[in-house]
Every structure is written in structure tokens, then in C-alpha cells.
Amino acid sequence: MTKKIIVAIDGLSSCGKSTMARQLAEAVGYAYIDTGAMYRAVTLYALRHGLLTPDGQIDAPALEQRLGNIDIAFRVSPETGRSETYLNGENVESAIRGMEVSAQVSRISSLPFVRRALVAQQQAMGREKGLVMDGRDIGTVVFPAAELKIFVTASDEVRAQRRVDELRAKGTDVSLEEVLRNVRERDRLDMERAESPLRRADDAIELDNTHLTIPEQRALLLRLFRQAAEG
């Protein structure tokens, strides 16, 4: 018998977690939630409202006070047919992927009050199960009892090159060196932070996709999904 499950996908930055999670969700008819997009949306809000300066100064008390005004939602865009991120009703899918947000998001995501608020929203989204969620702490903190947990890794260079290709495809020209620095710095901050650091849950399956093509990865994931949902 197939049961509805929660799939938690965690791992290093830019290792293709979102592509994996999105494709799996589409293939099995589950909702897909990109929790990184939620931390990015809070970062964009803070930048736009002067609560975070481009050099990393955060007005934490003001941000905490305003958290209730930050509404983050995912809606399927009629143009792309994909789930995209909305901040207070505005489609910010492209704005949250730029270097300005990428450079600051680790600072915002290390604030305990931000994590508490977003984790509570994420847990509410999973109440009915039937969900694929990707992030850094999904298998450890958000859904420690998830039926399927995957921890994704890939080499730094491959991850940076994939991010460069993604940004260039959207018309943003960036250098590989800059992106590589950002990827390494974010890994360090994500793994060293005091609050919910990135780590593999003991019962997560590790998947190094450095040498896997997207179709290979997709097939592997579907197999793992079937085992977990039918087991």
C-alpha cells in the first residue's frame, strides 16, 4: 500500500537540491517547498526596508518586530507552470536569487527568531504530509520523523559552476571565482552556526551527485521514494 509521506532533502548550497526536490514532487504529485526561498525572502525584505545593510549590519530588534508583516507564499506561476515565491503578494522569484541576497542570506538565517518563525510555518505546511521540502535542517529539525531523508553533496567547483550557469541563463553575468567564494562561505556559515547547523541526520541517505546526470539522479530518487512510500 502506498502511504503519503514527507520527503526531507537537505545538503550543501547549490548542489541541485531544488531541482531534485521539484522534479520528485512533480513526478509523484506532491507539493514542493523550497525553504531556502523563505530565508531569501526575509533577507530581501530586510534589505529593502533598511533592516540589513549591504555590508551585513542587521537591525535585529526591528526585524523581529516586523516579522509578522512578512507574508511568504508559494504559487504556481501561469507563465512558467512552476511554484514561485511571493513576498507580500509580489513575485520575488528572480529578486531572491541575485548575488545581493545570496551574500547576506546566511546572516539572516542564523537568527534564532527568524528560524523559529519559518520552521513553524514549514511544519504547518507538512501537517497533511504529501510534501517534498528542501533546505538545511528539514531532516534534523523541521521533520525529524520524515519517512525519507536525503542528504545531498557535490564538489565545490561543480556546485559553483552550476550556479554560474543558472545565473547566466537568467542574464546575470558573474564570475566563477565570485560564486565559488560565495558557495564556500555559505557552506562554512551554514555548518558553523550555533542555531540548527547544517548536518546530516543519522538516518539520512547521503547522495553525492558530482558525477550524476539529472535523469540518473531522478531515477535514483524515485526508487528511494517508492521504497519509503510502499514500505
- For ligand DC, the binding residues (CB under 6 A) are 13, 35-36, 39-40, 105-106, 109, 135-137, 186, 190
Q: Is the Cβ of residue 2 or residue 87 nearer to ligand DC in the bound state? A: 87
Q: Is the Cβ of residue 203 or residue 230 nearer to ligand DC in the bound state? A: 203
Q: How far is the CB of 105 from ligand DC (least distance, A)?
A: 4
Q: Is the Cβ of residue 162 or residue 186 nearer to ligand DC in the bound state? A: 186
Angle between helices 176-192 and 99-109 (to 10 degrees): 10
Q: How far is the CB of 48 from ligand DC (least distance, A)?
A: 17
Q: How far is the CB of 50 from ligand DC (least distance, A)?
A: 21
Q: How far is the CB of 1 from ligand DC (least distance, A)?
A: 31
Q: Is the Cβ of residue 106 or residue 209 nearer to ligand DC in the bound state? A: 106
